[in-house]
Every structure is written in C-alpha cells, then in structure tokens.
Amino acid sequence: MSPSSHYATCAGYEIHYMDWGAPDAPVVIAWHGLARTGRDMDEIAAHLAGRYRVICPDTLGRGLSQWAARPDEEYRLAFYARLAGDLFERLGIERAHWLGTSMGGAIGTVCAAGRAEPRLAGRIRSLLLNDNAPRLADAALARIRAYAGQPPAFGTVQELEAFFRQVYAPYGWLSEAQWRRLTETSTRRLPDGRVTPHYDPAMVRQFTAHENDYLIWDDYDRLAIPVLCLRGVDSDLVLRETTAEMLARGPGARGLAQVVEVPGCGHAPALNVPQHYALVDRFLADAEARGF
C-alpha cells in the first residue's frame, strides 16, 4: 500500500508526516530517531498498513519539517510532546499505539506519561521502545553528540551514502535499495552544492541546554500500559542493567513491560526484516488482546 505525504501546523510549525493505511483503521504512531526522518519507518509502516493507519512524522528540524526558531527552547522532549499533542488533534486521533526508535521512544514515553502533554494522558495504548530506555549510556550519548552536532558535507550523494553506511552499520542488514532510499530521503543540498544530512545541526543543543532531558524514569514509572523494549544486542546506548531496572519498576513492576534482545544489530534495529515485523506484530496483538 502506497503512503501519502502531508503537512500539518503543530505548535506553530509546519510538520511533515507520511500517512499509511486506511484512515479508519486503528492508529500506530511511528516516530524516528534523533538525526533521522520519518521515512526510516517505511518498511515497518508498509508491513502494518494492511491492519493499521500508520503516521510517521518528521520531527521539528528534521526531514521536510520546519526548523526551530528557538533551538534551546524547542529542541527538547517537552516541546516534541506538544507537537505530538497537536498532531493528534489535527488528525482527529483519539488513541494510538506508539512505536518509537531512540528519540522517538523517549517522546512516546513522555507523551504516554501525560505530564509534558496532558492532552495525551490515557491516549497512548501501548509503547514500543526501539532501543530506547529511561536512561541512556553516557558514552553513547557523547558519541551521538559528536557526529550529530557537526554533520559532514560531501561533494556527491554517493559519498554521503558511504558515510551513512558507516554510521548506521549498527542498524543491521539493509538491502542495497534500502541504503539508497535511506540516503536519498535524508539528504539536503547546501548553498555551495555539497550534500549533508537533512536536519538542523542545532537540534543537538538539546543535550547542552537540557542536559538530563533523556533521563525520564519519572515518566516511565507513571506508565500503566504495555511496554516492549527492543534492545539491539550490541547496543551501546541501552545497557542491560537499564533494561533489568525497567523490568523491576513502573510498568515492569505491574507486569506490563518486557525486553527482547534483537540479534545482528546495535543502535537501533532497522525494523525492516520479517524477524523484526514478527516482534512488532506479536506485541500489538497482545496489547489489544489485553484490552489496551
């Protein structure tokens, strides 16, 4: 099923999103990672589109969405939650499952907790965290800050693709066509003609203006919905001691959380092969069977 491309005004900004599936189907919000775009969700969205309406936004400052006018105030989880709240309202979404990779998982956590965005309290049916947790490893955050804050520029798209293949090797297996699409959907051309990743470098100021923005145990502890953490077995961002703590507190203590380690990848599983689809399918089906 082919998606359609749309724009909505959220928190005063033009936000781009891809819309997959039938408009009257149950909704899945699929939110991408820090320096990525909603097009990363193409494979999993196409897989789910026969049963769900899948909404894949570009976060403020990424892809085809506008860039922040006030980076220190607006590149942060609380403002992203406001964007999500407005998107729910604009699209008339009453309730939705949430599938988030990395940053997208953190946004989903704060949305589901309802503190940052009270309009979404009780409206997130389940939460799938794709290599995301309420605490992230400091060394990995430092690595992400280093490459995301100073995106390189290249003379050709092929050189940029080679860079992406190196940086995102932890995603696991991607086909040749998928690597090419990943590149072409996350490339912008600079005034001097070179190409660079399609995001606002200032978005990395989230880590300096809001140093503990990704330390969200308080939000996690409030969750009373099914939570699945897919941890890339080689992830340096989500540590095993953190996933063990997730199972012991919050939704874990309520019998609602589970952790699955995904072989063959690190940060973060690309959600693009049958084994990944099966994990997502099973989680959504179980959440619905339990009445969420």
Residue 168 lies in a domain: no
In the DSSP assignment, the letter for residue 57 is: E
Q: For residue 171, is pLDDT > 90? A: yes
What does the pLDDT look like over 239-275, one tens digit per residue?
999 999 999 999 999 999 999 999 999 999 999 999 9
pLDDT-derived band at 146, boundaries 50, 70, 90: confident
Q: How would residue 127 be classed by pLDDT, with cut points 50, 70 and 90?
A: very high
> What would the pLDDT profile of 34-91 be if each residue is shown by its tens digit?
999 999 999 999 999 999 999 999 999 999 999 999 999 999 999 999 999 999 999 9
Whether residue 166 lies inside any domain: the answer is no
In a domain, 59, yes or no: yes
122 in any annotated domain: yes
Q: Could you tell me if residue 153 is inside a domain?
A: no
pTM of the model: 0.97
Concatenating the DSSP letter of every residue in 218-254 gives HHHHT--S-EEEEEETT-SSS-HHHHHHHHHSTTTTT
The answer to whether residue 44 is domain-embedded is: yes
The CATH number of residue 129's host domain is 3.40.50.1820
Asked if pLDDT for residue 92 goes beyond 90, the answer is yes
Taking a C-beta distance cutoff of 8 angstroms, is the pair 250, 220 a contact?
A: yes
Domain assignment present for 179: no
Residues 6+ apart with CB under 8 A from 151: 35, 196, 197, 199, 201
Which residues lie closer than 8 Å to 201 by C-beta, 6 or more apart?
148, 149, 150, 151
Mean pLDDT in the chain?
97
pLDDT digits (tens, 9 = 90+) for 134-144: 999 998 888 88
Please check whether residue 160 lies inside any domain of the structure. Answer: no
* Domain membership of residue 128 as a residue range: 4-138+204-289
Quick check: 213 pLDDT over 80?
Answer: yes
Number of domains in the chain: 1
